Chains A and B, each alone.
Chain A
Amino acid sequence: MYNSSETKSDRVIEVNDLAKEYRVYDKPEGLWASIRGLFHREKRTIHAVRGVNLSVGRGEFLAMLGPNGAGKTTFLKLLSGIITPTRGSARVMGHVPWDRADDFRRRFALVMGQKNQLWWDLPAAESFRLHQEIYRIEPVRFAQIHDELVDMLGVSRLLGQPVRELSLGERMKLELIAALLHEPEVLFLDEPTIGLDVVAQHTIHEFLRHVQKQRSVTVVLTTHYMKDVAALCERVVVVTEGSILYDGSLEQIVDRFTTHKVVTLDLEHPPAEGEIEKFGFACEVRGPRVSLRIDRTRIADVLPKLLASQQVRDISVEDVPLEEIVAGLFRGAASRQLNNDREQGARLV
């Protein structure tokens, strides 16, 4: 377990063997099947979260990375008390989330990139006023935090505009302000940069980094984007098929899940056929530009030989791109799961 040295009081989130299963029915195509479905339905169990154990310390910025349907959002919904688990336990700031105690709900915020929490037809200022009442924020403190957040994101001119007239990026900035007005100790972010352009993504990264550092907020972020993770998080939890595949730092993913580096060469002349392959696996040969995959343990031996045998204009040695590593992890986990399912037979219940 990552950060296992932290004391119990430092742990803001503690999750043990948490699982969530859904029973869904398969709806076959066709009219006759639909009529039959009125009387008899074949149900199966979806394992959205499978016995997850996790501990998050105070002030950590943790990213949950996973493909669609991995169980990231379900996990956040469990931690924020929206749904109840099938089994297992969780404590967030000492509270069982699905008890939905007001003391607990006052201390966290949830932002969902694909769902709007502000009043659609009204200016965001009206939603902020409602937040002030719901979270019982003192007027002076409210004004102070409100102004600070609005200045940081530069959205003062948007406050009086109906939310439905705002762009996605503008709306997300206002959603974040609404979520932070009551100074939550824990912030759950569910794909906050989904669909945003590069500039808006960058602004939100900067803002979140600043707020998290300044207020020591514990943040759990779910995302598909490596950019979010690289920009914000020290700790990454890779989730696939409802299970944790990896829990550690971003750098360690590279060490743990790759065995080679990528060497890119700009040669004076295109290499002769078969000449370059003896140094490693040629993943790309385009004229004088060559990319090779070379085993990490051999790199110190291979590079001097490569430079001696070729006229090299430029060279770079890099790790395999993170996206590629993570995509490989996802694919591996998916095929393992498929094999397991085949072995266990159809899980129709």
Chain B
Amino acid sequence: MGRYFKIFSTFARACLVRDMTFRANFLLECLTSLGWMSMNLAFYLLIFSFTPEIGRNSGWSREPFFAFVATGLIINSIVQTLFMPSASELTEMVRTGGLDSVLVRPLDAQFLLSMHRFDFSSMANGIVGVALLVWSVSRFSVAPPLIACFLYPVLIVCGVAILYGLIIMLAAATILMGRNQSLYDFWFYITNFSRYPAEIYAGPWGGPLRMVCTFVIPILLVVNVPAGTIARPLSGNAWGMISLTCVVAIISVGVSRIVFQAALARYRSASS
């Protein structure tokens, strides 16, 4: 484990050195993602100038909703920083045969492929997310209970694990198909659902969609459950969702590992 942490640090260090080498690019990426995030926040502020709450009796009034947005920012920032750059690169590695050099290393291939490249500029959103979370929570009418403060980071990790499992399964599809350029697009479409409170998915179309996005592709658990834990009272239903999120996180990582190993066994490599 210590060795893997050391290798992780070496990768992280090397990527930081590379990012610093292309300083202007690094700063531009930070500014772009901060700009995109600011526009989103402005959009939500605009919505709250018309309504005090999103959804009827949903509990997502202004400050809790900003805690929700902050949770989404933190989780997405972790995924975008740690896993997404490597997963995006995998498509090219499979197409060009670059994966060959990974498979000959005496190291877990999944670890090497999912954590060899980092995008530190994506951390900017996470930092703003933490600040937004602190600001929102400090303005709650009732402070969150201590147990919620303890569960929140655990559920953040679970949310990241669910997304990681999905990324790995998409990456496995890349290995099997030889080319999967739609990986990033598909990822964007899927994660788009997780950016809004589950309560908005109601009615004849919304209900089934909510079920699918909770139990089939459990994307709605990723942000909703940690955000709900910190921003809303811990009811009986909340405990059920917390348990479900923890179980789904473990299953997601486990299944993704099986799928990834099966895909590696079928790797064809590319012509030299």
Contacts and interface: CB of A to CB of B under 8 A. Distances in A.
Partners in one complex: yes
Given A102-B106, A110-B101, A112-B101, A73 B14 contact: no
A25 to B, nearest CB: 12
Given A102-B107, A135-B106, A117 B10 contact: no
Given A84-B265, A117-B101, A126 B107 contact: no
B56 interface: no
Nearest to A100: B103
A82 B10 contact: no
Contact of B272 (A73, A100, A119, A121): A73
A81 interface: yes
Interface residues of A, number: 34
Interface in B1-59: 3, 6-7, 10-11, 14, 17-18, 21-22
A122 interface: yes
A121 B11 contact: no
A82 B98 contact: no
A83 B6 contact: no
A77 B106 contact: no
Contact of A110 (B3, B6, B22, B104): B104
Highest count of chain B CB atoms <10 Å: which of A77, A81, A106, A129: A77
B184 interface: no
Among A104, A114, A122, A130, the one with the most B-chain Cβ atoms within 10 Å of its Cβ is A130
B255 to A, nearest CB: 21
A108 interface: yes
B268 interface: yes
Interface string A69-111: 0000100010011111000000000000000101111101110
Interface string B71-112: 000000000000000000000000011101101111101000
B193 interface: no
Contacts of A121: 18, 21-22
A129 B101 contact: no
Nearest to A22: B268
Given A129-B10, A191-B272, A83 B18 contact: no
Given A102-B107, A119-B14, A134-B107, A77 B269 contact: yes
Nearest to A73: B272
Q: Is the interface of B mostly helix, strand, loop or mixed?
A: helix
Nearest to A191: B272
Interface in B228-272: 265, 267-269, 271-272
A115 B97 contact: yes
Contact of A82 (B11, B17, B269): B269
A63 B56 CA distance: 75
Contact of B104 (A81, A130, A133): A81
B269 A83 contact: yes
B98 A115 contact: yes
Contacts of A247: none
A190 B268 CA distance: 17
A185 B133 CA distance: 55
A136 interface: yes
Contacts, number: 72
A212 B7 CA distance: 29
A162 B96 CA distance: 22
A216 B109 CA distance: 29
A112 B100 contact: yes
Nearest to A126: B14
Interface string A208-245: 00000000000000000000000000000000000000
Contact of A190 (B21, B103, B105, B272): B272
Contact of A105 (B6, B105, B269): B105
Nearest to B99: A82
Nearest to A23: B268
Given A122-B14, A130-B14, A133-B10, A82 B3 contact: no
Contacts of A81: 103-104
B103 A82 contact: yes
Nearest to B96: A115
A115 B104 CA distance: 14
A109 B104 CA distance: 8
A83 B105 CA distance: 14
B231 to A, nearest CB: 41
B104 A82 contact: yes
A190 to B, nearest CB: 6
B199 to A, nearest CB: 41
A104 B58 CA distance: 57
B3 A112 contact: no
B23 to A, nearest CB: 13
Contacts of B109: 100
Nearest to B11: A130
Contacts of A129: 10
A114 B272 contact: yes
18 contacts: A80-B104, A81-B103, A83-B269, A105-B104, A112-B272, A115-B100, A115-B101, A119-B14, A119-B18, A121-B21, A121-B22, A122-B21, A126-B14, A130-B10, A130-B11, A133-B10, A134-B7, A191-B272
Given A73-B272, A112-B272, A130-B7, 16 more contacts: A77-B100, A81-B103, A82-B103, A82-B269, A102-B107, A106-B106, A110-B101, A112-B101, A115-B97, A115-B272, A122-B18, A122-B21, A126-B17, A129-B10, A134-B107, A162-B21
